[in-house]
Amino acid sequence: MLRPKIPANPTPTGAVVPLPTTPTAVDHHQPTAAPMEVPASSRPTVQLTPGSVLALVGGGTAVVLVVGTVLVSMLLAVAVTAASIAVCALVIRSLITSQHRR
């Protein structure tokens, strides 16, 4: 149905792979052997009680809040640093221009 078109390399650099050809006839075979039974897993299944679901939701909420707090504090630290650098730049500029006037 949807097959990707593989471009032919005009100068092969190794083993030459022939282009795929479309099949002319499709032969459907029926399986002769019965399907094998899948063995049961030895691991116990996880059963969630309403209390454990609430604990998981509470834990996930706590993780999201902590990560959000950390990211916001980092952003605030960057903003404060940028503001202080801007103030320092203005003070230095003012000192340099006042020195040139004298």
Give domain status of residue 48, yes or no: no
Give domain status of residue 79, yes or no: yes
Give domain status of residue 94, yes or no: yes
Q: Which two tokens stand for residue 3?
A: 């097959």
Kindly give the confidence (pLDDT) of every residue in the chain, 102 residues in length, as a single tens digit, with 9 standing for 90 and above. 678 777 776 665 666 666 667 666 666 666 666 666 766 677 777 888 989 999 999 999 999 999 999 999 999 999 999 999 999 999 999 999 988 776
Give domain status of residue 51, yes or no: no
Check: pTM over 0.75? Answer yes or no: no
Q: Is the torsion defined by CA of 50, 56, 59, 61 positive or negative? A: negative
Give the count of domains, the chain.
1
Q: Where are the beta strands (DSSP E) in 1-94?
A: none
Q: Which domain holds residue 93?
A: 71-102
